[in-house]
Amino acid sequence: MANRTDKHTSRPLFSTRFGVIAATVGSAVGLGNIWRFPYEAGSNGGGTFLITNILCVLLIGIPVVCAEFMIGRAGRKDICGSMQALAPKNSGAWKAVGFLGVLCALLIIAFYAVVSGWTLEYLFQSATGKIGEIAGANRHAAFEGFTSGWRCVFWTVVIVLLTGGIVYRGVEKGIEKASNLMMPLLFVLLVAMVVNSLLMPGAADGLRFLFYPDFSKLGASTFLSALGQAFFSLSVGLGTLTVYGSYFPSDTRIIKSASIMASLDTMVAVMAGVIIFPAVFSFGMEPAAGPKLIFEVLPDIFSRMTGGTLWSIAFFLLLLMASLTSIISLSEVGIAFCIDHWKWGRKKAVLTVTLYSLVAGILCALSFGPLADMKIFGMTLFDLLDFVTSNFLMPIGGMLISVFAGWIINRQTVRKELSPAPRLAVSAIIFLLRYICPVAIFLVMANNLFHF
Ligand code: TRP
């Protein structure tokens, strides 16, 4: 059977309610939850960061997710096409905003594929029983040695090809099916690892660190990093969720789906914290180890645990699945753009985006080794892409998307897309989109730029 499409617009559609949730949660849950959240929480005071993050998700994250979903479903096109279709005037300018989103997605793919590739290497090392060799005194050299060599390039290529193979199969048969399979498995693995972690001797210290808020540590920077984390983790700001929204059947409830997606996404981040901090405290390690936390510290932890090889296989498999469903959603932004904007077939669009991802991903992977000295504004390609996307493009995109949904689109379209839902919920989302989100996002961006 062919992939399901909308009767009127022949837009591809997700086929079930479960599929909608699996695909959107699949996009949201990724390296951002399992790798970034624990290290951000670790460096920003644990419990205080967690509470601020939850507030940001509720007040800013969920409204912007709703905005992206409704722009997509009302426009039934990629981010550029949908914004252009819904803008009553200056449609060219809003189309340009969408274009910025597509560009941002393409840039993120490059470094996201590289980090996803690292998870494949660690999975491979675990599966071949070598996790002990990259732990202890060797862990730093092992991480550096691997990321600067050709193996890193090889795994990046594998990730890009795997992603291409899945998106090639279409929205229902590819994206939805892969998410339906991987997301439940991910939750099972997470629960098993949470239980294992709670049985460790240092569990109480770890949990206290993660859940006990110390408000003396609350500063402007905590609030702003928590908002940044909420954005990255929820996949908002560049049209990923707009494209997925355009695949929603017309009876999907937008506010409800956004709330479920945001809750599950936050839950996974909390679970990742529950997995990592008890282990960190049980083995007397430093929670504020930064971005290398999971890649350098965890092999060490696994190598000292009973059944460590199995746990490390489970963990890196989990991270691989989480990052695959996210990179799939990032590729789909570019693919939908080619299909809607240039009227290409899916095959040509997937081949083009995959080819681009190969070149960009390889260049990015090489920036740890052979291209390490090629600095642009004093940064390697990997660092530059990470910096430009999370400090400029994503926040600008998120701010403009909330302005667009709150002020520009016809109010009736907004109410129609958001219902059926309680009146109060609809009004609250509209209020937040108009007055709170744009200002708050502006503050994050200003903070990132000027570090005030
Ligand atoms: N949210 C994903 C994560 O947590 C990453 C991601 C996927 C993303 N699509 C995105 C981030 C769009 C920003 C924008 O890892």
Q: Is the CB of 117 under 6 A from ligand 1?
A: no
Burial of 133 (0-12, 13-18, 19+ CB in 10 A): middle
Q: Percentage of the chain surpassing pLDDT 70?
A: 99
Ligand 1 proximity of 23 Cβ (cutoff 6 Å): no
Give the integer Cα–Cα distance in Å for 206 and 200: 10
Q: 448 pLDDT band (50/70/90 cuts)? A: low
Check pocket membership of 233 for ligand 1, CB cut-off 6 A: yes
Note whether 227 and 390 are within 8 A (CB).
Answer: no
Please say if the pLDDT value at position 293 is more than 80. Answer: no
For ligand 1, atom 13, the nearest C-alpha belongs to: 235
Residues with Cβ within 8 Å of residue 129, at least 6 apart in sequence: 309
pLDDT score recorded for residue 102? 97
Q: Is 266 in the pocket of ligand 1 (CB under 6 A)?
A: no
Residue of 443 and 53 predicted with greater confidence: 53
State if residue 262 touches ligand 1 by the CB under 6 angstroms criterion: no
Model pTM score: 0.93
State how far the Cα of 273 lies from the Cα of 290, in Å rounded to an integer.
Answer: 14
pLDDT given for residue 26 in this prediction: 95
Ligand 1 within 6 A of 238 CB? Answer: yes
Tens digit of pLDDT for each residue in 309-342? 998 998 899 899 999 999 999 999 999 999 999 9
Q: DSSP 3-state assignment of 76?
A: coil
pLDDT value for 451: 63
Residue 235 in contact with ligand 1 by CB distance below 6 A: yes
Query: Which residues is 12 bridged to in the sheet?
Result: 5
Average pLDDT of the segment spanning 232-250? 95
Query: Do residues 257 and 98 make contact, with C-beta atoms less than 8 angstroms apart?
Result: no
Mean predicted confidence (pLDDT) in 14-32: 94
C-alpha–C-alpha distance, residues 309 and 242, integer Å: 40
Q: Which residues have a Cβ under 8 Å from the Cβ of 440 and sit 6 or more positions away?
A: 56, 59, 60, 227
For residue 27 and ligand 1, the question of a CB distance below 6 A is answered with: yes
Q: Does the Cβ of 163 fall within 6 Å of ligand 1?
A: no
Distance (Å, rounded) from C-alpha 35 to C-alpha 30?
Answer: 8
Contact 113, 156 (CB under 8 A): yes
Q: Is the pLDDT of residue 236 over 90?
A: yes
The response to whether residue 33 sits with its C-beta less than 6 Å from ligand 1 reads yes
Give nearest CA residue, ligand 1 atom 9.
235
Q: Taking all residues of the chain, what is their mean pLDDT, rounded to a whole number?
A: 91
Distance 286 CA to ligand 1 centre (A): 27
- Interatomic CA distance for residues 80 and 266, integer angstroms: 29
Nearest residue (CA) to ligand 1, atom 8: 235
Q: Name the amino acid, one letter, at 295.
A: F
How confident is the model over 242-255, as a mean pLDDT? 96
pLDDT at 160: 98
Question: What is the per-residue pLDDT across 409-436, written as a single tens digit (0 to 9) for each?
Answer: 999 999 999 999 999 999 999 999 999 9
Distances in whole angstroms, Cα of residue 44 to Cα of each of 22, 41, 49, 280:
30, 5, 6, 16
Range list of H helices, 212-297: 220-234, 240-246, 254-282
Average pLDDT over residues 269-283: 88
Question: Over the range 41-61, which residues count as b (16 or more CB within 10 Å of their CB) and which as e?
Answer: bbbbbbbbbbbbbbebbbbbb
Residue found by looking up tokens 């722009």 in the block: 71
Structure tokens at 149: 């060599």
Helix then strand count (H, E) for the chain reads 22, 0
Alpha-carbon gap, residue 360 to 380, rounded angstroms:
13
* C-alpha separations of 149 from 144, 152, 263 in Å: 9, 6, 39
What's the gap in Å between 77 CA and the centre of ligand 1?
A: 20
**Residue from 233, 324, 386, 396 whose mutation best tests the ligand 1 pocket (most atoms within 8 A of CB):** 233
Q: What's the gap between Cα 435 and its chain centre?
A: 25
